[in-house]
Chain A
């Protein structure tokens, strides 16, 4: 294996799932058989995905470390590299560097209840933790998921939402923004913070994992405060612009913390100690 940290692994696209308009999931298999067997990562980590000829983009690893033999990423077509990645077809080759960054402390969460609050395209980093927890279900107490998107069409992982909904050991609440509902929609209508307040989850022995656009996070934190969640028991991920992913290129820092090395996972208590630079 190369000692050049910038050289990506070659991966082949095994499966493409169109999740929502402009959002797709790629299942990637390492071309190197030995690497495919030995590759390990933990929930919360991310990678740099290459479309050769266009460059690299940063996405979390959206599949669970309990599912071996492949990794998945889910991304929104946003600009140059993501558009190029969206043009690739099953069987084609792309690049991956990683896993990078820190992880959700699942080991510390053993025996606790987990409350997931996600908005929009921010479900991918959480989906990794959700499956990790569900695949080791005995280690955790109650698992509740609140997921909101602008419209019904924008909800990602629709097949998995159905699976979670049908499981007796998961409480799933989905919501769409007012005006985003369809006649058939059976979920909630309303913004995530308001629906969370209505859900009224207990903070007792519970960890809240919150991922979403900055405005959703901003209005969700006060609700969690009201519900009695201590800042140490709330986790989120930061998305600062990245290039190297390994603490060298100098662009992802928030104060003296590098999101690519010290993050992307931060507790709210850690965030409160950081300057507002994200």
Chain B
């Protein structure tokens, strides 16, 4: 992997040039005490100091709501206007952490298996991921327990790692990453001789994911789901903040009676309406069944069907949960489950 160094003083110049070159920058911005990914107007607005944004970066490829096509009633029929990819911006996602970059793999697994998903595919084609290694973490992070690390380059096109307070080690991972650095080579310097491990946060390994996944194979009928989910409100916040959750609803968004859009929007397997039949029958009628679905989907079904896990250990679900469900604690409990 090609390595370079960029002084802090040149970083903003680089991003400004990237932006002037026609790409949008989607990066963490702190507003009202909350750090979220935004399309930034000025690169001065980018926040680099947070542990984790409230929302992940997945919206760049899987927006919270997205138009799938439009319809219009006409004399003698209906006219459809197909999804239009012409206006999707070329975007550099800057400053996402390795757990968020890694999450595009499970998303791509879900949207790309069997048949392609045009809206997701078209957006992904226009995305370059410039990630930032974590020099800080908190007690809810557990990337190292799910094959990640605070300095993992997996999924990124470029990975930056802060070297002191003066600049960044730049690892150029893919051709897409190279296309972003090469035209501005003058801004980059030779990579310093540093031990990258020493520059990273220390995220303890909280559990053995292999043991968890082996336990889950026989855990469908276990009482553990009831115990763990007794306080879960079914609010769905965990799914909405998750970088790897992809469940969606398809809804009509009429604009008057004669035209409108078919849209899709984020949904959550934690909601009681998610699987409700019109007849009133619900295959997952209680919260414990929905909690079980969330964990089995991520740690059993996805590995089996798509060869990718649906969790990268970002800890967002635990931070967002109004009743303090701690995912890695729950997973640790499953590790020792006696079926």
Interface residues of A (CB under 8 A from B): 2-8, 10, 12, 31, 50, 52-56, 78-79, 82, 93-95, 214, 239-241, 243-244, 246-251, 253-256, 261, 275, 277-278
Mostly, the A contact residues are loop
The stretch from B52-60, B140-148, B188-196, B274-282 touching chain A is B274-282
Interface residue B284 (Cβ < 8 Å from any Cβ of A): yes
A250 touches which of B69, B221, B246 (Cβ 8 Å): B246
**B residues near A214, Cβ cutoff 8 Å:** 281
In the bound complex, CA of A10 to CA of B283 (Å): 33
Q: Assess the A93–B251 pair: CB atoms within 8 A.
A: no
**A residues near B278, Cβ cutoff 8 Å:** 78-79, 82
In the bound complex, CA of A159 to CA of B248 (Å): 41
**B residues near A79, Cβ cutoff 8 Å:** 278
**A residues near B269, Cβ cutoff 8 Å:** 250-251
Q: Assess the A277–B277 pair: CB atoms within 8 A.
A: no
**B residues near A240, Cβ cutoff 8 Å:** 275, 277, 283
Taking residues whose C-beta sits less than 8 angstroms from the other chain, chain B's interface range is 35 or more
Q: Assess the A277–B289 pair: CB atoms within 8 A.
A: yes
Q: What is the distance, in angstroms, from B55's C-beta to the closest C-beta of chain A?
A: 19
Interface residues of B (CB under 8 A from A): 68-69, 71, 73, 77-78, 80, 82-83, 110-111, 113-119, 220-221, 246-252, 254, 257, 260, 262, 264, 267, 269, 274-279, 281, 283-284, 289, 293, 296-297, 300-301, 304-305
**B residues near A5, Cβ cutoff 8 Å:** 115-118
Interface pairs A-B: 4 shortest CB-CB:
A250-B247, A256-B301, A6-B68, A78-B278
Are A54 and B252 CB-contacts (below 8 A) given A6-B68, A78-B278, A93-B77?
A: yes
Q: Assess the B305–A55 pair: CB atoms within 8 A.
A: no
Are A247 and B114 CB-contacts (below 8 A) given A93-B77, A214-B281, A240-B275?
A: yes
In the bound complex, CA of A125 to CA of B109 (Å): 31
* Chain A to chain B contacts (Cβ below 8 Å), 10 pairs: A6-B118, A7-B68, A53-B252, A82-B278, A241-B275, A241-B276, A241-B277, A243-B250, A246-B114, A249-B247
Q: Assess the A52–B71 pair: CB atoms within 8 A.
A: yes
**A residues near B300, Cβ cutoff 8 Å:** 256
**B residues near A7, Cβ cutoff 8 Å:** 68-69, 80, 82-83
Are A6 and B83 CB-contacts (below 8 A) given A239-B277, A256-B300, A277-B289?
A: yes
Nearest A residue (CB) for B251: A55
Q: Assess the B115–A246 pair: CB atoms within 8 A.
A: yes
Nearest A residue (CB) for B69: A7
In the bound complex, CA of A239 to CA of B277 (Å): 9
In the bound complex, CA of A278 to CA of B68 (Å): 29
